[in-house]
Amino acid sequence: MEQITATFKNFWTVVHSVWNQGVLGQSLSQAVIGLLIFLVFFVFRGLFRRFVITVIERWTKKSTNSFDDELSQALAGPLQVLFIALGLFFAFQYVGFKGEMETLADNIVRTVITVAIFWALYNMIKPLSGLLCRLEGVLTAEMLTWLITGIRWGVLFLGGATILQLWGIQVGPILAGLGLFGVAVALGAQDLFRNLIGGLCVLIEKRFKVGDWVMVDGVVEGTVEHIGFRSTKVRRFDQAPVFVPNQKLSDNAVTNFSRMTYRRIYWKIGLEYKISLEQLKAIREKIETYLQTNEVFVQPPAASMFVRVDAFNASSIDLMLYTFTHTTVWGDWLAHKETLAYEVKQIVEGEGASFAFPSQSIYIEKHPEGTPEPFVPPASKG
């Protein structure tokens, strides 16, 4: 019996030892209480989200601007992470780790706080980017997009470097190694850097922006949808997307139709040679008068306007019509061209003249010998 009692005492000693030093050298009671402390702050995080942040969001929605709405949404997540950091800090303080475990616990708390801070900075870039819109007079919208993207990557890099430093990992040697690696990569990725530099040149020169109708000589014509770091997405008029390397956009000639001041109409109107001089003058003057009295067309000296007899062509007398419309919208421009075509046809036909078309006349001076004379039927008597 005494042996059994001694055995149970030994077992209880083991249990007591495990209880006191069962979790990383700390007692289970401390670990359980530390876990409860962390859970309390975790619950506070949920209550903070439910009551405080919800009230703030309702209050910001009543304002007329969207800045405070975006700012409250940006800070909501990081503030909740801070409750987790508080829970970990008080739990570790209660448990009272020593030596290496104390350093590990301290690094974990610092890491969570660093994540919360840089997460908040990353999220605040979007609402604060609205302040950069004032620079659109100097920088294009695409350049601002690139700038904001660069700031975001910079925040992520600084956050990652800070966390690595907390854990004793030196960033300098890593950057030096990446530099050597970057030199090796650069030798094989010259086209990538050329396209990147080409994209920067396009944005700095403000050749075009998203939504512009452009034509790249020998490459593509369409509407710009996205200007990326390596390529630009242009959607053709048949709705097929084309991804053009930025290097081609910087090296090739680019026509930006969206920046036309006015839109040109240039016609050669062919009239028949049998038209009289008076008819020709009347047609020219009436077309010119129509252009000068119609506010659709741009009047000199803002833009050139000509209606002149231009050339004696092979089958026609060519009348040149040269003018510009105020609108540069393709659909409206086509409608004005159509109306002008109706008016020109009405003027020409109203003067009793006709439009010429390519034709040839053959004149025979002498019939070959032995060729029968052409039969001419006698005139009918009636």
CATH number at residue 341: 3.30.70.100
**Do 229 and 267 reside in the same domain of the chain?**
no
Neighbours of 382 (CB within 10 A): 3
CA distances from 174 to 184, 282, 345 (A): 15, 84, 77
Instruction: Kindly state the average pLDDT of the residues 352-360.
Output: 84
| 318 located within any domain | yes
Query: In the structure, what pLDDT confidence band is assigned to residue 17 with cuts at 50, 70 and 90?
Result: low
For residues 81 and 45, give the distance between their C-alpha atoms in angstroms, rounded to a whole number. Answer: 8
Instruction: Kindly state the average pLDDT of the residues 250-267.
Output: 88
**Confidence check: pLDDT of 285 > 80:** yes
In this predicted structure, what is the pLDDT of residue 189? Answer: 57
**Do 68 and 115 reside in the same domain of the chain?**
yes
Range of the domain at 290: 263-350
**Confidence check: pLDDT of 19 > 60:** no
**Do 294 and 174 reside in the same domain of the chain?**
no
For residues 207 and 249, give the distance between their C-alpha atoms in angstroms, rounded to a whole number. Answer: 9
**Do 27 and 103 reside in the same domain of the chain?**
yes
- Phi first, then psi: what are they for 288, rounded to 5°? -65, -40
Please identify which residue in the block is written with the tokens 């000068």: 292
For residues 239 and 117, give the distance between their C-alpha atoms in angstroms, rounded to a whole number. Answer: 44
Alpha-carbon torsion angle 355, 360, 364, 370, nearest 10: -130
| 3 located within any domain | no
**Do 245 and 269 reside in the same domain of the chain?**
no
| 336 located within any domain | yes
Task: Please write the tens of the pLDDT for every residue from 44-70.
Answer: 777 777 777 777 777 767 666 666 667
**Do 29 and 130 reside in the same domain of the chain?**
yes
Terminal-to-terminal C-alpha distance of the chain? 159
Query: In the structure, what pLDDT confidence band is assigned to residue 112 with cuts at 50, 70 and 90?
Result: confident
Amino acid at 10: N
Task: Please write the tens of the pLDDT for every residue from 147-203.
Answer: 777 778 888 888 888 877 777 777 666 666 555 545 545 555 566 667 777 777 777
For residues 49 and 19, give the distance between their C-alpha atoms in angstroms, rounded to a whole number. Answer: 36
**Do 287 and 254 reside in the same domain of the chain?**
no
CATH number at residue 225: 2.30.30.60
Amino acid at 209: K
| 316 located within any domain | yes
| 196 located within any domain | no
pTM of the model: 0.49
**Do 156 and 251 reside in the same domain of the chain?**
no
Do 204 and 143 touch, CB atoms closer than 8 A? yes
Instruction: Kindly state the average pLDDT of the residues 252-267.
Output: 89
% of the chain beyond a pLDDT of 70: 72
**Do 214 and 133 reside in the same domain of the chain?**
no
For residues 103 and 74, give the distance between their C-alpha atoms in angstroms, rounded to a whole number. Answer: 31
**Do 162 and 49 reside in the same domain of the chain?**
yes
In this predicted structure, what is the pLDDT of residue 227? Answer: 84
Domain boundary (197, 227, 259) is at: 259
Give the total number of structural domains in the chain.
Answer: 3
SS3 of 271, please?
strand
| 155 located within any domain | yes
Instruction: Kindly state the average pLDDT of the residues 304-309.
Output: 94
**Do 47 and 71 reside in the same domain of the chain?**
yes
Tell which residue, 169, 63, 81, 66, has the closest CA to residue 118: 81
| 55 located within any domain | yes
| 194 located within any domain | no
- Per this entry, what is the length of the chain? 382
For residues 34 and 238, give the distance between their C-alpha atoms in angstroms, rounded to a whole number. Answer: 66
Buried b (16+ CB within 10 A) or exposed e, 337-370: eeebeeebeebbeebebeebeeeeeeeeeeeeee
**Do 240 and 346 reside in the same domain of the chain?**
no
